[in-house]
A = this chain, B = another copy of it.
Amino acid sequence: MTNFSMDMQVSFGDCDPAGIVYYPNFYRWIDRCFHALLRERLGGHAGLCKALGAQGLGLMEARMVFRSPAREGDKLSLEITGIDWADKSYTLAYRAHVGDRLVFEASETRGVFVPREDGRLRAGEVAGLRAMFES
């Protein structure tokens, strides 16, 4: 996979009383970036889940390191810089800049969640998803 990127224009309502982006919004944006990647490369989350027999590609773990704040009017350049594949999970690496300035680095570890017999979900093999990303 080559890198994937998108821009987010920081708006007034994304910011908190300190005048900087309220940090849960950064997670909304990396999740938005992941879903844009699915849509542009693999036909989108819904079709992909159907093809994989999965119920979702949800989160197992997330981590973010905040390097500098982003403010109203900033144009945030958001990149997925790589995906590490394990057997039953995969970890996306993210990075966001405003111009040359690093704003945050993040990772999301996600699964391919499939239904068990009792209706609860379990993390299934991710080889099928990996093959689609790499084909």
Which chain A residues (51-100) contact chain B, with CB distance < 8 Å? Answer: 55-56, 58-66, 69, 72-73
Decide if A23 is an interface residue (CB 8 Å cutoff): yes
- Which residues of chain B come closer than 8 Å to A66, judged between CB atoms? 58-62
Query: Do the beta carbons of B27 and A23 come within 8 Å of each other?
Result: yes
Query: Do the beta carbons of B24 and A9 come within 8 Å of each other?
Result: no
Decide if A41 is an interface residue (CB 8 Å cutoff): no
Decide if A119 is an interface residue (CB 8 Å cutoff): no
Q: Which applies to chain A's interface (DSSP): helix, strand, loop or mixed?
A: mixed
A61 to chain B, nearest CB (A): 5
24 contacts between A and B (CB under 8 A): A9-B32, A11-B32, A11-B35, A13-B22, A15-B16, A15-B17, A16-B17, A18-B55, A20-B58, A23-B59, A23-B62, A24-B25, A24-B27, A24-B31, A27-B27, A35-B72, A44-B72, A44-B73, A45-B72, A46-B72, A46-B73, A58-B69, A59-B66, A63-B64
Which 4 pairs between the two chains have the least Cβ-Cβ distance? A24-B27, A11-B32, A18-B56, A63-B63
